[in-house]
Structure 1
């Protein structure tokens, strides 16, 4: 997916979103921040810019049919769209009420159209999965697939991912996945990339000891960004077993072709994660000649 990411929330009992629930259709200018910081809160830089939430007839039908079963209705922080009420706690009890068991839970940040997490839920019925996505058509696609296969171990949340990580109980998640996040290629937008030190700290706290954060990108400059954010941390171990050569300086949208001329260094990365299916997006990247970079970071 090269669309940005998601998150979740609650207070008492796990609810599901009514099929009639709608969000406004709006198109902010590039770089605009949806919502406000609200009283006593700093304005946060978001990793996504929300697009129209309109669904075509097929996706609307899927929404109407499956939202009540699969879509989590998490309490929202009213001052910022897709944010979670800061008083909500995504804890073990919430997991039990939502999934009906305490199987290991994998969370995917930015599920796109749900191909990966739906395939994983199909092949791993003894594990629970939560798909986070901010783009409503992507959410609807995930609902459609979940309903088609009758998956009882998958839920979907239309939320800002960092908020869900903050709401999560310490050590609750077994794995976190972030596959092909929005690259934000312009240098001035690199600070909007979802993989940031603040998120890494929250992901580490939410993961069990020994849990892993799996990341993948087909953008070389984003791969360097991931190494810069993650490799020097004491709370994560890069367990990649292969060596790749990357430029040690960043390029921007208009200068990417200069990367080969820059100084390079060796970095540790992982073999392709066997649990990730080949999506249409990844296939297009490969056909365009881009190299896929896989990362596995184990929580210390």
Structure 2
């Protein structure tokens, strides 16, 4: 897993021919973003466990269906009790170009932590700790984990800008994983790995203090009221993340759905293991609205909540740009691990 990444001999890589599936500018924009980050043009001194950090990923999703690449685990797996997932398994057929990227780079980037072929569950005996990091990254540098990396633009830009850090991309869908491999492979990155796993299961078996920072950007909003239980951000997941974080480690979250922003506050603000360190006052409705009734939110009672300024290290992806163009407000959150007393 620590061998040098080799680019396939055929130079006609997908991003060079134009991705019909992912957008023609995906490869070039990622490289440009990484170069800008390296030049320091997009960084404002963000600090993670004493180190400068930049570049985040926003999961590419539509709001109509699941795509965050992670699931909410309500308990142990069994025939009687199955975890509530924040995604639905769908056909992940790859076109020839993405299949070529998968074949070329999977051995270098994809971690073998699953409990079986075609399973998104982690191995029953997995303990994710410093030894795991050293085994698969070849060092014990601080690890940044992105939950739901989508097509990988942000995490690849971050890994390119920060070779002194390790990065783990968690995603469940084959096309997004293949595209992330492609972008990373073209840059020859060796500080990024990918886990095709149910994220809450991985964090549940992560050792205390093993992860420097966690990113969850634009998770699937599951807008229907009956589906809110499928939202990735739940108390059990939050407690697992807090345990896994280093002292003063942070969890960065972003959404462009107002109702999801309220959900984040309701779940995370009361917890004793995480502290909302945002310094921006934002007014939100205090009642939830479902799909098709979001326009009613303006007439509901509101109150002020604390959120964060936009994390400047997050690459502005096509998905986020579309949300802004549609008039949606981007909500950023920063939760810091509370030190044990």
Bin of the TM-score, shorter chain as denominator length: 0.7 to 0.9
In the alignment, which residue of structure 2 is the partner of 1:49? 88
| Structure 2, gaps ≥5 residues long | 1-58, 62-66
**Structure 1 residues 205-216: aligned runs within 5 Å:** 205-216=243-254
Matched residue, 1:38: 78
The normalised TM-score by structure 1 is 0.87
| Counterpart for residue 285 of structure 2 | 247
- In 2, Cα distance between equivalents of 1:201 and 1:62: 36
Deviation at 1:77, TM superposition (A): 6.0
Q: Deviations over 1:81-107 (max 9, x none)?
A: 301122111111110111111111000
The separation in 2 between residues aligned to 1:74 and 1:105, in whole angstroms, is 17
Supply the distance in 1 between the matched residues of 2:293 and 2:112 (Cα, whole angstroms): 43
1:59 corresponding residue in structure 2: 98
Give the structure 2 partner of residue 175 of structure 1. Answer: 213
Partner of 1:228: 266
- Distance in 1, matches of 2:116 and 2:216, equals 24
- How big is the alpha-carbon RMSD for the aligned residues of Structure 1 and Structure 2? 1.7
Q: Hey, what does 1:4 align to over in structure 2?
A: 68
Alignment of 1:144-223 (within 5 A): 144-223=182-261
Query: Does 1:121 find its partner at 2:159?
Result: yes
Q: Count the aligned residue pairs.
A: 271
SS in 2 for 1:226: helix
| Aligned residues of 2:276 and 2:335 also touching (Cα < 8 A) | yes
Q: Distance in 1 between matches of 2:126 and 2:251?
A: 23
Alignment partners' CA distance in 2, 1:160 and 1:77: 13
- How big is the shift at 1:241? 1.1
1:247-273 CA-partner distances (Å, limit 9, x unpaired): 000000010010100000000000001
1:251-290 paired onto structure 2 within 5 Å: 251-290=289-328
- Contact persistence 1:6–1:157 (CA under 8 A): no
2:107 paired with 1:68: yes
Distance 1:6 1:199 in 2: 10
Cα distance in 2 between the residues matched to 1:214 and 1:292: 13
SS in structure 1 of the partner of residue 303 of structure 2: strand
1:288 is displaced (CA, Å) by: 0.5
Moved over 4 A (4+): none
Counterpart mapping for 1:16-31 below 5 A: none
- Say whether the 8 Å CA contact 2:177–2:194 is kept in structure 1: yes
Query: Is this contact kept in 1: 2:114–2:120, CA < 8 A?
Result: no
1:191-219 deviation line (CA, Å, top 9, x unaligned): 00000001001000111110000000000
SS of equivalent residue, structure 1 residue 108 = strand
Q: Aligned match of 1:107 in 137, 141, 145?
A: 145
Mapped to 2, the partners of 1:77 and 1:100 lie a distance apart of 24
